[in-house]
Amino acid sequence: MEIEKSGKKKCLQCDKPIAGRLDKKYCDDYCRNMYNNQTKRADERQIQHVNSIIRKNRRILKTLCPVGKATVRKEVLDAMGYNYRYFSGVYRSPAPRSLAYFICYDYAFSPIKEKGIDKALIVQKQDYFDKYLQNPWPAQCILKRFIRKQF
Ligand SMILES: [Zn+2]
């Protein structure tokens, strides 16, 4: 909240000086509603943007792997516009393979190499995935140990 030199606060929505209680942020209900609606819309847009990327990724995985599992060259996913930065979760299959799968809702893929060629092993998400969803905290511990060593 901005406070003018005169000590008067300004409305978060319209920037006009506010009179009255010290904790007031808006001149009236109209300004408060406008401000809250705009903030909510911006939040919603951000969420929808990320959701639309993951949704598109899921559609690509589903197209390439309608049932069971499939192995596809990475360049096929690239050509279809797959965005590798976004996913809804990470699953690591149990040892000995211990592959990381990047989940997009109910489909997932694992980046693999076959004879030097980058490929995606695509699978439909199974219930047991949930048991092996990656927990970020152990990685955090490693990071802390690393930071302590550095400084
Ligand atoms: Zn106002």
Taking only the tens place, the pLDDT of each residue in 72-104 is 999 999 999 999 999 999 998 888 888 999 999
Domain that residue 124 falls in: 57-150
Whether 67 is in a domain gets the answer: yes
Whether 124 is in a domain gets the answer: yes
State how far the Cα of 120 lies from the Cα of 113, in Å rounded to an integer: 8
Ligand 1 centroid vs 50 CA: distance in angstroms? 32
pTM of the model: 0.73
Whether 24 is in a domain gets the answer: no
CB 27 within 8 A of CB 14: yes
Q: What is the mean pLDDT of residues 21-34?
A: 90
Instruction: Pull the structure tokens for residue 55.
Output: 């949704």
Give the count of domains, the chain. Answer: 1
Whether 51 is in a domain gets the answer: no
Residues near ligand 1 ion, CB 5 Å cutoff:
11, 13-14, 27, 31
Whether 80 is in a domain gets the answer: yes
pLDDT in tens, 6-22: 567 899 999 999 887 77
Whether 20 is in a domain gets the answer: no
For residue 126, what pLDDT is reported? 84
Ligand 1 centroid vs 41 CA: distance in angstroms? 19
For residue 140, name the pLDDT band (cuts at 50, 70, 90).
Answer: low
CB 122 within 8 A of CB 107: yes
Ligand 1 centroid vs 47 CA: distance in angstroms? 28
Whether 81 is in a domain gets the answer: yes
